[in-house]
C-alpha cells in the first residue's frame, strides 16, 4: 500500500513539473507583450478606370482604426490615408492615379493609434487606357433614313454584356439647332427617331463602353460622321414624273411635245421628249419608222454635296429592243455621247421590259456639279421606244 502511494505521489509531481515548464515556454512567446490585431479592411472592391482605379472597402468593427495603408506594384508603391470612424459601418474609397494599362494587385492594412496592424486584405483589378479604347468597335446600324421629316436610325442587335452602354449623337434639326444627346443602349430592336432632322445634313456618333460593371470611367469609340439615307428628288430634280409635265411653251400635237424643266438636244427633241400616251405624261426617246436618233440627250444639271447617291428611273414601257440607250450621271454640264458612255460617273443600260428599274450609283468626295439624265442612239430596229414614268435621286450616305 505504501509502495502504491509513493508511485501516485511521483506521478503527481511529474505532472506539476511539466505544467510549470509549459507555462514558462508560453511566457517566452509573449515576451514584449501580447500580439494585438486591429480590424481588417472588409469587402474590398477594385473599380477599373482610365489609367486609374478606385478602391473601396468597409470598416465594420474596431472603432480604434485611424489609418489605412495601401500597397501595389509588388509593394514598390504605396499610399497612406487617415481614417476617422463614424461609430458604425464606414465605406472607405481611395483613387490610385497615374497607373499603366495592365492588371494590378492591391494590399490594404489597417492601423490603430497604437500602431497595431490588421491582417492583409488583397484585391486584383485591371487598369484600362488607350490600348483598350482604340480597339473598341462602334455600334453599327441596319438603316438610317428620313421618314416624314424625321431621321429614323435602326441599330444592329448587340450583346450588352460586352460593355456597350450607350451611343452619343450630335446632329442638327431643321431650325439649325445643334443637339448632343446620349442614348442608352438596348440589346435588340432599338430604333432612334431624331425629330425635325435637317435635310441633307450628316450626324456624328460614337459608342460608349464600360469595361466591367464596377468600372468608374466610360470609354468611347472615335467619332464617326454618318449620313441619313434620304430621297432628295424634290430638292434637286425638277419635274421628276408620275406624271411628267409637258412644256406649255412648246408645240404639242395632241400626244407628243417637250418635257418641262429638262434640257434636251435637237436629236432628242425632233420626235418629242414628252409622250402623253393614254392621257398620262411620260418622258420619252423614240423612233417609229421616222428616221434615226444619234446621241439624243435629255438631262438636268445640278450641284450636289459630298455623299453617296443613286439616280434611278422607273420604266413605263419599252417597245421592241433598245439599241443603245442609257441612264447616266456625268461630272460637269453635259452627258457623254453613247460611244463615250464609259466616261460617265455611272450608267445603267436600258434593254427591254425585263427590268423596269434602272439605277446609277455614284459617290462624290466633295461638292460637285453633275448632269443626270438619258442618252441614246436609235436606228435599228426602226421601231423602238422608251417611256419613263418617273426618276428619283436618293442619297444613301
Q: In this predicted structure, what is the pLDDT of residue 21?
A: 45
Q: Of the candidates 193, 226, 259, which is a domain's last residue?
A: 226
Q: How far apart are CA 262 and CA 240, in angstroms?
A: 10
Q: Which three cell numbers stand for residue 301?
A: 444639271
Task: Report yes or no on 12 lying in a domain.
Answer: no
**Listed residues 69, 101, 127: the one ending a domain:** 127
Judgement on whether residues 282 and 358 belong to the same structural domain of the protein: yes
Share of the chain above pLDDT 90, in %: 81
pLDDT > 60? residue 6: no
- Mark whether 195 and 278 lie in a shared domain: no
Q: Copy the grid coordinates of residue 329.
A: 450621271
Say if 34 falls within a structural domain: no
CA distance 288 to 156: 53
Q: Is 148 within the bounds of a domain? A: yes
The one-character DSSP state at 277 is G
Please answer whether residues 233 and 242 qualify as being in contact, where contact means their C-beta atoms are separated by less than 8 angstroms: no
Cell triple for 129: 487606357
Any idea what the CATH number is for the domain that residue 151 is in?
2.60.40.10
Q: Is residue 244 part of a domain?
A: yes
Q: Are residues 218 and 240 in the same domain?
A: no
- Are 253 and 385 part of one and the same domain? yes
Residues 246 and 384 in one domain: yes
Same domain assignment for residues 144 and 111: no
* CA distance to 1, 11, 19, 21, 147, per residue, from 8 (Å): 11, 5, 17, 20, 108
Q: Do residue 248 and residue 378 come from a single domain?
A: yes
Q: 172, 198, 226 — which closes off a domain?
A: 226
Structural domain boundaries enclosing 149: 132-226
Query: pLDDT (tens digit, 9 = 90+) per residue, 262-307?
Result: 999 999 999 999 999 999 999 999 999 999 999 999 999 999 999 8
Same domain (yes/no): 380, 266: yes
Same domain, 178 and 285: no
Cell numbers standing for residue 358: 434602272
What does the alpha-carbon distance between residue 363 and residue 122 come to, in Å, rounded to a whole number?
58
Is 69 a member of any domain? yes
Residue 171 has pLDDT above 90, yes or no: yes
Average pLDDT score over residue span 355-384: 95
- Beta-strand runs (E) in 200-339: 202-209, 219-220, 224-227, 230-231, 256-257, 263-264, 274-275, 282-288, 293-304, 307-319, 324-331
- Domain assignment of residue 5, yes or no: no
pLDDT over 80 at 35, yes or no? no
Task: Return the percent helix, strand and coil in the chain, to nearest 5.
Answer: 15, 50, 40
Domain shared by 247 and 362, yes or no: yes
The pLDDT, as a whole number, for residue 61 is 79
Q: pLDDT at position 282, please? A: 97
Domain co-membership, 68 together with 97: yes
CATH of the domain at 273: 2.60.120.260
Q: Which distant-in-sequence residues (6+ apart) come within 8 Å of 268 by Cβ?
A: 285, 293, 296, 297, 298, 374
Q: Give domain status of residue 14, yes or no.
A: no
DSSP 279: G
Please indicate, yes or no, whether residues 118 and 185 belong to a single structural domain of this protein.
Answer: no
Count structural domains, the chain: 3
Contact 357, 339 (CB under 8 A): no
Among the listed residues 114, 118, 98, the one whose alpha carbon sits nearest the alpha carbon of residue 53: 98
Within-domain flag for 188:
yes
Amino acid at each position: 500500500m505504501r509502495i502504491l502511494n509513493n508511485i501516485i505521489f511521483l506521478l503527481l509531481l511529474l505532472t506539476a513539473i511539466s505544467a510549470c515548464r509549459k507555462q514558462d515556454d508560453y511566457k517566452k512567446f509573449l515576451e514584449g507583450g501580447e500580439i494585438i490585431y486591429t480590424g481588417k479592411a472588409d469587402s474590398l472592391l477594385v473599380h477599373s478606370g482610365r489609367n486609374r482605379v478606385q478602391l473601396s472597402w468597409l470598416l465594420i468593427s474596431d472603432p480604434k482604426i485611424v489609418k489605412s495603408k495601401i500597397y501595389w506594384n509588388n509593394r514598390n508603391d504605396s499610399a497612406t490615408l487617415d481614417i476617422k470612424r463614424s461609430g458604425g459601418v464606414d465605406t472607405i474609397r481611395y483613387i490610385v492615379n497615374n497607373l499603366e494599362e495592365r492588371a494590378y494587385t492591391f494590399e490594404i492594412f489597417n492601423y490603430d493609434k497604437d500602431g497595431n496592424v490588421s491582417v492583409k486584405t488583397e484585391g486584383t483589378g485591371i487598369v484600362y487606357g488607350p490600348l483598350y479604347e482604340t480597339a473598341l468597335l462602334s455600334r453599327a446600324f441596319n438603316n438610317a433614313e428620313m421618314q416624314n421629316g424625321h431621321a429614323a436610325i435602326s441599330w444592329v442587335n448587340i450583346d450588352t454584356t460586352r460593355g456597350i452602354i450607350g451611343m452619343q449623337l450630335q446632329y442638327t434639326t431643321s431650325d439649325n439647332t445643334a443637339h448632343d444627346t446620349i442614348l442608352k443602349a438596348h440589346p435588340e430592336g432599338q430604333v432612334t427617331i431624331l425629330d425635325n432632322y435637317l435635310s441633307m445634313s450628316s450626324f456624328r456618333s460614337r459608342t460608349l463602353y464600360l469595361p466591367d460593371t464596377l468600372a468608374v470611367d466610360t470609354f468611347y469609340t472615335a467619332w464617326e460622321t454618318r449620313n441619313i439615307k434620304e430621297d432628295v428628288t424634290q430638292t434637286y430634280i425638277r419635274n421628276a414624273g408620275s406624271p411628267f409635265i409637258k412644256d406649255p411653251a412648246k408645240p404639242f400635237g395632241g400626244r407628243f411635245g417637250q418635257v418641262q424643266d429638262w434640257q434636251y438636244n435637237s436629236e432628242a427633241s425632233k420626235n418629242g421628249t414628252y409622250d402623253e400616251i393614254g392621257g398620262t405624261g411620260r418622258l420619252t426617246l423614240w423612233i417609229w419608222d421616222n428616221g434615226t436618233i444619234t446621241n439624243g440627250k435629255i438631262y438636268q444639271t445640278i450641284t450636289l454635296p459630298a455623299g453617296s447617291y443613286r439616280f434611278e428611273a422607273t420604266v413605263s414601257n419599252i417597245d421592241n429592243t433598245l439599241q443603245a440607250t442609257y441612264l447616266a450621271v456625268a461630272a460637269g454640264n453635259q452627258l457623254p455621247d453613247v460611244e463615250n458612255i464609259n466616261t460617265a460617273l455611272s450608267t445603267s443600260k436600258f434593254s427591254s421590259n425585263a427590268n423596269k428599274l434602272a439605277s446609277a450609283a455614284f459617290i462624290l468626295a466633295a461638292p460637285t456639279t453633275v448632269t443626270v439624265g438619258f442618252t441614246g442612239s436609235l436606228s435599228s430596229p426602226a421601231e423602238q421606244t422608251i417611256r419613263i414614268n418617273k426618276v428619283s435621286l436618293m442619297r444613301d450616305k
